[in-house]
Structure 1
């Protein structure tokens, strides 16, 4: 059962985002990026109060994803990427992205905080950051 509603276009957008942001971190890294995307749709808090669907999340501005400014994002979604996107839409969660709303690729160690949000962990090249339960109870 889906935790967020999606059209086939929105599924493709999430799949392309996951690949463009984290293909180098393998399928698990891509799934974690998908977690962040789904969490942003569910959150209704902080920077994500007006995000209601996957397309709005992917193209949020300001505060969106760098990958949408690169040509690689605009290649067609592959079936393997769609399958990964479906898993996150259906509610599968992967630590450290379980409750994360942000991630980035630092040049060194993960800072303890990033934009006042606490680090929830690192997976390969990306550091993940999660809000407090008080700030974002919906995720």
Structure 2
């Protein structure tokens, strides 16, 4: 049985940011939904406003992969069931809410050190804010060309 969009979003919130507290999980949910709703660029072209297309896009979310570099990835959405807080945040995000400090960020990652000013490496995102272990990046003008 396939997961509903709500279930899938709750699972990825837990998997990607379960240890980052309420604000960190809302930040990750905001980025995911920003990708769904962005009206231009790669995520608009590939996702076409569909949450599943965004989540399943190759190379985007480690939690959507059962294997990484030939090694089994046990931390994935199929092996980590969500708790009520994850459903609550998924509902919040699906209702159109966003964490204002994240703005229109389309990327996040944990650099295990200081946040670089540009991410991803192709230079289409500029640093917005850090929340706990994650850095968040807004699209630059270059992103529109992706």
TM-score (norm 1): 0.82
Q: Which residue of 2 aligns with 1:53?
A: 50
Higher relative CO (Cα under 8 Å, sequence separation at least 6) belongs to 1
Counterpart check, 1:121 vs 2:121: no
SS in 2 for 1:122: strand
Counterpart check, 1:81 vs 2:86: yes
Q: Which runs of 5+ in 1 are unaligned?
A: 1-7
Deviation per CA, 1:102-124, whole angstroms, max 9, x where unpaired? 00001211011113110001000
Separation of aligned partners in 2, 1:122 and 1:91? 22
Counterpart check, 1:130 vs 2:130: no
Q: CA deviation at 1:76?
A: 2.6
Do the aligned residues in 2 keep the contact of 1:96 with 1:128 (CA within 8 Å)?
A: no
Separation of aligned partners in 1, 2:139 and 2:25? 21
Q: Which runs of 5+ in 2 are unaligned?
A: 66-72
Alignment of 1:71-110 (within 5 A): 71-72=74-75, 73-74=77-78, 75-110=80-115
Separation of aligned partners in 2, 1:86 and 1:131? 25
Q: Which residue of 2 aligns with 1:13?
A: 8
